[in-house]
């Protein structure tokens, strides 16, 4: 299955969307825009009306790479991205079989912020998130708004995984 990107900006066509377009240019990559997905907030009671969370995670289990693309809002993920990430708690509560299928999957973070430097704490929490799920964090990519990539080698690493032909 082709790679997947989860786009978590609060606006369409903003810096994060533009940057994601540059990162994935010329490569097959399906984009799920969280502005269009119905993802309810995490519920301790695990009581949800039907929504798009489980179908998106199923898609992730089949993707050779999933890119989490978020703007930096107040030193962290955007609210829509955080809402999505909170729902991964379902995978340790009532959807453990599905959660196990994420083990060994490859994830990457792509963030856009106004600061010249990446938000290190965001990279750290993303790596912890991957570690908890048993997924591999391939790279954390950052750019100031829609400008040049802060670390072109990190962007290149993501591109290598986008291009990779699945052999297993």
Ligand X SMILES: Cc1cc2nc3c(=O)[nH]c(=O)nc-3n(C[C@H](O)[C@H](O)[C@H](O)COP(=O)(O)O)c2cc1C
The whole-angstrom separation of Cα 136 and Cα 106 is 5
32 versus 112: smaller Cβ distance to ligand X: 112
Q: Does 73 bind ligand X (CB under 6 A)?
A: yes
Q: Does 112 bind ligand X (CB under 6 A)?
A: yes
Q: Does 150 bind ligand X (CB under 6 A)?
A: no
Degrees, nearest 5: CA angle 42-21-103: 45
Fill in the per-residue mask, 76 to 95: x = in contact with ligand X (CB under 6 A), - = not in contact: --------------------
Closest CA to 160 of 6, 30, 27: 27
Closest CA to 62 of 163, 166, 139: 166
Sheet (strand 106-113) strand order: 30-33, 4-7, 66-71, 106-113, 136-144
Q: Does 9 bind ligand X (CB under 6 A)?
A: yes
| From 3, 15, 29, 110, residue interacting with ligand X (rule: CB under 6 A) | 15
Q: Does 115 bind ligand X (CB under 6 A)?
A: yes
Q: Which residues in this chain contact ligand X in the complex, by CB under 6 A? A: 9-11, 14-16, 71-75, 112-115, 145
């Amino acid at each position: 299955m082709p790679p997947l990107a989860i786009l978590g900006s609060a606006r369409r066509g903003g810096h994060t969307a533009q940057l994601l377009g540059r990162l994935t240019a010329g490569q097959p990559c399906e984009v799920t825009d969280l502005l269009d997905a119905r993802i309810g907030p995490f519920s301790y009671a695990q009581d949800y009306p039907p929504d798009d969370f489980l179908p998106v995670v199923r898609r992730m289990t089949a993707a050779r790479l999933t890119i989490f693309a978020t703007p930096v809002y107040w030193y962290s993920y955007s609210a829509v991205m955080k809402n999505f990430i909170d729902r991964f708690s379902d995978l340790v509560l009532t959807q453990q079989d599905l959660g196990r299928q994420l083990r060994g999957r490859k994830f990457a973070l792509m963030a856009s912020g106004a600061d010249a430097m990446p938000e290190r704490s965001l990279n750290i929490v993303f790596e912890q998130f991957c570690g908890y799920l048993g997924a591999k964090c391939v790279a954390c990519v950052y750019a100031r708004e829609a400008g040049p990539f802060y670390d072109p080698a990190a962007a290149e690493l993501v591109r290598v995984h986008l291009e990779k032909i699945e052999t297993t």
